Chain A
Amino acid sequence: MQAATTTSDLAIISPLFIVCAMGLVALLVAVFTPKDSFKGWLGYVVAFGFALALVAVVWLWKQAPLTLSNESLFFALSVDHFGLGLTAVILIGGLLAALTAVDYLPSQRSDHGEYYALVAFAVLGMMAMVMSADMLTFFVALELMSISVYVLAGFKRQSAFSTEAAMKYFVTGSFASALLLLGIAFTYGATGSIRFTEIAEALASPQASLPIAQFGVVMLLAAFFFKVAAAPFHMWTPDVYEGAPTSVTALMATGVKVAAFGGFARMFLTAFGDARFRTGDLPWETIIAIVAVASMFAGNLMALAQKNLKRMLAYSAIAHTGYIMLAMLAAPTSGDGTVWLGPGLIFYLLGYTLASIAAFGVASVVSGNDVEDVNEVAYAGLAKRSPAHALILAVAMLSLLGIPLTAGFIGKLTIFAEVLDGSHNEYLWIVVVAVINSIISAFYYLRVILVAYMRDEAAERPIQLVSSRSLTLAAGLAAFLTLVVGLVPSRALMASGKAGGSLADSKARAASTATVNDVHTEADAPATASAPKATKL
């Protein structure tokens, strides 16, 4: 076997193991401790697990790209900078989201240990998703994540609101999963492979059945659009974001979105990355451009009308999906068809994750005494009642809006510059649309600050704040990091660039795939994973 790595397979997938183990521990603790005891400490345990996994990821990052020596793992997971970088973002999001739940859940009378187990499993799914190198791993990872989140969304069982959100999410989500499977099936039909790199090779050959692949890609796109909540596949988002417990919404806005963007970006750029497909026979780039514009407008215009903070953030999430999708346009391609990404996508996801955690963290704080409708009354005059939380909220809003010195600004700037550079100004119109949209968004983001700082109605109907050190810590840390990353973004940008660039290695990986296969056929080693040579139809 080639690729003489010194790191053993077990070490390479250790982040996955750590998170999985934490989930199992949480599950057992949940069932072996008295039912009504305080379960928040499990949040710290799981957060510690995420931190440990994060350390492992950083350690692996330094040695990446890593090659798994076990063949079945080799084909299933690519532990490159791209996967590790996004995993790090997911873990940061997961860690902070887990901390927001510690005291929030008791305030919602839903303090069950299973929560943290499910969070760990969801994060496990997300991590596997951004590392997956074939369609089946991708699908299993996505389902692991989705099913965990379906349950989490309905975690506040006594609330019809929350249950309804879970049910809606489940039904629409299953539909999207079915579409994804259909897409996988059709792509397999057209190419005879489930591995991203082999699909790319098969599609490049003249015998490839393009109409079938085309239909498959459309299905995959639909599933992608659903998972990242892009218009017109976004309709579930506001209901679910609003109904789910806020700490779950935080996880959905960050982890799920990062995983979906990471996983699908890898899939599309590796398997369907050839310029011929992106703008030619399978014009997914054009489709993404249209959908991105639709999402920006749908999200921003609808957000204008919202009074409920969570619902507003849901629409804002839709709008941000639009911005992030731009990063997938005009991905740079070299002469031999190798495609990679600039730093924009991953950096933006990092900035968005931090700002979202901060925003949802404050939204959790202001839903004490079991408030479900986080409307303006809930945070009016927050600056007087709790200046720290008001400041966190303000930072989050400014970053989402994209004001300089916040991570959101650098993210937008990087993505826009990337799109212009990559398309040689061909996509100038879409950047203009995006900037116009970010101006529209000023209306509703600033209104939040306005209400938090300049209104004073809550005195009449005081809403108890959830007093929680962990929650404040998580939101405060997120806000602080938002500023740090906005002020000194070069390291994060460099890492994101490295991560995005590592997608280009997929070609090299494909080459090594061939070697691995050859070695095995020659040596007549026991076939571990069924590795059918692409059977062209």
Chain B
Amino acid sequence: MNEVEHLAHAAHESSLLPWIILLPLLGAILNGLFGKRYSQKTVSLIGVGSVVTAFVLSTLEVIRLAGLPEGDYLSVDLWRWFSAGELNVELSFMIDRLSAIMLMVVTGVGSLIHVFSTGYMKTDEGYARYFAYLNLFMFSMLLLILGKNLLVLFVGWEGVGLCSYLLIGFWFSDMEKAEAGQKAFITNRVGDLAFLIGTFILLFYSYGSLDFVGVGGAGGLPQTAAYLGDKAPGMLTLVCILFFIGATGKSAQIPLYVWLPDAMAGPTPVSALIHAATMVTAGVYMMARLNFMFALSDVAMTVVAVVGALTALFAATIGLVQNDIKKVLAYSTVSQIGFMVVSVGVGGFVGAIFHLMTHAFFKACLFLGSGSVIHALHHEQDIRKMGGLKAKLPVTRWTFLISCLAIAGIPFFAGFFSKDEILFFAATAHREGSNPMLFVYIVSVVAALCTAFYMFRLYFLTFEGKYRGDKHTWDHAHEEPVMNWPLIVLAGLATVGGFVGLPHFLHAHALEGWLEPIFGWLYEGEHAIFHVSHSAGLEIALMLGSVLIALLGIAFAWRLYMREKLPEAPVDAWWHKLLMNKYYVDEFYDAVLVRPLRATASFCHRVVDVRIIDGLFVRGSARLVGAVGDGLRFFQNGDVQAYVTAIVVGIAAILVVVEYLL
């Protein structure tokens, strides 16, 4: 198995690693069990302290990792989780260069959001419970990113889903919010179904382990993938697509994105942490983790790219007309993850991770900013009732503006670099003997235009112009100092975060160098799969193009919304209705999936049970065996007869099957 040797690197034992994962769990347990008895200060100390400590430990480990020979990784094997047949699954974790980035993003952004939450949730009676769930989420997320094999990743995968469910439904007195939680969980389970089936198929072909790295380049998933690519490319494609369906659930892509906008029912910091920065990018991370598998399947990659591009555009267009500040951000998240998925699909794994990182910064900042606004306006979320808030919320306004510039792709903010890298890959990356997917590029560019427009529509309607709400709220609007710091830090990161990935023609792409041991083989060497243009001129041209697009979007928004009065929405236009109703996808799913399922259940109950069993068998047989029935009716209006009849029918069916059908 020569092809996988390039992935063979040495492991170094890490004793700090388990603590990074355990600390948040410990926090969750303490706050969850005894939180009611603690003062708010103690709860904050435990909740925030555990995550910040985890962040510090992570930093230490990542620094250690940076000092190791290129490509080596830190790992720890706790114990053999279970072994079934030849398969051994260890409960083991690793920090390699890929998970290191995720680790820093998750613990870093996580810490900031924990700090922010201490202000945002100050008056909530479920303060301890909130931090318990939040810590539990951090624990699951860390399991997900640090898992050394597919099953540990899956544990985290399910865990984050569960915590997301708990946190979305956090304000459960509102049944609608609880339902939103359930919707999220169940939609995710559909994705998990595909994920699980993919895992089972891999299990079947596995070489005794589901590790992401093989020992000496052999035995792990890379070898399985190489074997499949060699011997059963169809199966490989199937597995990749199954995993991608799993990713569409978690990362809110078509067709399973529907839960994310509803998930905004949870507290805003939760939206920032889970539904913007960390959990929803898990699908992208998973695909990057499995790059050795995805890269081998041309068909699957094309599907990924096309679905990503369509999602990016689709969600961006819905975002154009939404009026709930968090809904806009939600659709924007769906759309931005679409960009990352595009990047994976065209082979730009570095770009995907890069955008994942920058997006975590500016989107977390945007969400926290919206949280700050919502907090200041006593849970008002409708942007039509905002406006002119720059006077009241200066810090929020500036950080929000910076993040908007970043997401729109204005040079030299973070989003500019990462988005351009994606677009550059979409325009030029191709496999041997095939062309770049221009369709994907064009769709992505249109999505980028929409992004710039709706983000600035949001910004103008919220912070510029005149206030349109009631006076009482306006008078009481203020910022919470503890909530400002995270905003400032995130805005700073959104400003400078992009410089780790300077354009290729400058030959100073630090991130690419860092991830070289993981993704490098895709582009260089004898087994290279993707080819990218090296023309500096083309890159600069594309870059200028996307800046123009961004400016165009901002200009439109300026023209429409930078004024005193709220412009009339074209409510009667068919396209507006279509977008307002989110393309009627929820209604479609309700009609096609949810209702038939419910109907089947009630059909079984009403028709099969009541009619057929009770009606046909009970009453029919009652007449047939009327005399005997007299005696039996003693215990219960003949129901038992139905039961026995069912048994007899079952036996008869089996006999028929055995005798005649087999």
Q: Which A residues are closer than 8 A to B by beta carbons?
A: 164, 167-168, 171-172, 175-176, 179, 214-215, 218-219, 221-222, 225-226, 232-233, 235-236, 239, 282-283, 286-287, 290, 298, 301-302, 304-305, 342-343, 398, 403-405, 410, 413-414, 416-418, 420-421, 425, 428, 431-432, 435-436, 439-440, 442-443, 446-447, 450, 453-456, 487-490, 493-494, 497
Contacts and interface: CB of A to CB of B under 8 A. Distances in A.
Given A420-B200, A425-B204, A493-B82, A232 B649 contact: yes
Contact of B189 (A416, A418, A439): A439
A298 B603 CA distance: 12
B655 interface: yes
Given A287-B657, A410-B82, A435-B196, A302 B644 contact: no
B193 interface: yes
B588 interface: no
Given A168-B640, A404-B154, A418 B84 contact: yes
B256 interface: no
A182 B661 CA distance: 24
B169 to A, nearest CB: 6
B602 interface: yes
Nearest to B83: A490
Given A305-B602, A417-B200, A489-B81, A405 B155 contact: yes
A490 B81 contact: yes
Given A235-B646, A454-B172, A490-B79, 19 more contacts: A167-B635, A171-B640, A179-B647, A222-B651, A232-B650, A232-B653, A301-B601, A302-B601, A305-B605, A342-B85, A431-B200, A435-B197, A439-B186, A439-B192, A443-B186, A450-B169, A450-B178, A454-B169, A493-B84
A168 B186 contact: no
B451 to A, nearest CB: 34
B643 interface: yes
B643 to A, nearest CB: 4
A302 B197 contact: no
Contact of B190 (A221, A405, A439): A439
Nearest to A226: B647
B604 A301 contact: yes
B159 interface: yes
Interface residues of B, number: 62
B155 A301 contact: no
A172 B84 contact: no
Contacts of A219: 651
Interface in B625-648: 632, 635-636, 639-640, 642-644, 646-647
Contacts of B190: 439
Nearest to B157: A404
Contacts of B81: 487-490
Contact of B658 (A218, A304, A417, A425): A218
A287 B600 CA distance: 24
B212 to A, nearest CB: 17
Contacts of B84: 342-343, 413-414, 417-418, 493, 497
23 contacts: A172-B640, A172-B644, A232-B647, A232-B653, A233-B647, A235-B643, A235-B647, A287-B654, A301-B601, A301-B604, A304-B597, A342-B84, A403-B162, A404-B155, A404-B159, A405-B155, A410-B82, A417-B204, A421-B204, A440-B597, A455-B172, A488-B79, A494-B83
Contacts of B193: 435-436, 439
B636 A167 contact: yes
B200 A416 contact: yes
A218 B83 contact: no
Of the candidates A225, A428, A443, A487, the one having the most CB atoms from chain B within 10 angstroms of its own CB is A443
Interface in B165-212: 165, 169, 172-173, 175, 178, 181-182, 185-186, 189-190, 192-193, 196-197, 200-201, 203-204
B204 A218 contact: no
A-B interface, 6 closest residue pairs, ranked by CB to CB distance from nearest: A454-B172, A235-B643, A404-B155, A304-B601, A167-B635, A232-B650
B204 A450 contact: no
Contacts of B601: 301-302, 304-305
Contacts of A172: 640, 643-644, 647
B639 A168 contact: yes
A437 to B, nearest CB: 10
Given A172-B644, A239-B639, A421-B85, A446 B185 contact: yes
A302 B604 contact: yes
Contact of B647 (A222, A398, A488, A490): A222
B365 interface: no
A78 to B, nearest CB: 25
B158 interface: yes
A176 B651 CA distance: 11
A532 B245 CA distance: 61
Contacts of A298: 604
B622 to A, nearest CB: 15
A73 to B, nearest CB: 34
B178 A454 contact: yes
A222 B654 contact: yes
Contacts of B151: 404
Interface string B598-624: 101110110001000100000000000
A447 B155 CA distance: 22
A404 B632 CA distance: 47
Contacts of B662: 283, 286
A290 B154 contact: no
Contacts of A343: 84
Contacts of A447: 182
Contacts of B657: 286-287, 290
A497 B83 CA distance: 10
Nearest to A175: B644
Contacts of A290: 657
B87 interface: yes
